[in-house]
Amino acid sequence: MSNEFTFKIGDEAVKTIIELRDQEPGDKQYALFLQIDGVHGNQFTYDLSFLDIEQTRSDDKRVDFGDLAVVIASKDIDKFDGASLDMSDDDQAPGLTMDNPNTPSPAMIGDPADLPELKVFRDQINPE
């Protein structure tokens, strides 16, 4: 039984991402850089950007899809394992969609009302 890292991108998504990447200025070689930038509900939120491939860190995870290099931030590699990126089939919200079997741990989600700043705001500035 292999526990090898898996991440997939659908063919249409690869094509779309390459078209977007090729519009980047300059002649650097860009990779699609993926990282988790937060949590919304019980799902991760993602930051997708193009990054000069020379700026990637040695502990980041690189996965190639033909002509498209994808780099996953080292801090989030385990959170992308088994995930896939594809084009949405929702006409109302076209674009890329992430299908990720991983979800944030309850400790990451928490109750925003428990944050000290919000508690101070609620108790002092906006008392019930």
Residue ranges for the chain with pLDDT beneath 50: 1, 109, 113-127
Whole-number pLDDT of residue 107: 60
> How high is the pLDDT of residue 60?
97
pLDDT for 108 equals 53
Q: Tell me what pLDDT residue 88 has.
A: 87
Among residues 68, 46, 70, the alpha carbon closest in space to that of 60 is found at: 70
First-to-last alpha carbon distance for the chain, in angstroms, is 56
The whole-number pLDDT of residue 111 equals: 52
- For residue 117, what pLDDT is reported? 47
pLDDT at res. 41: 86
d(CA 57, CA 53) in angstroms, rounded, equals: 9
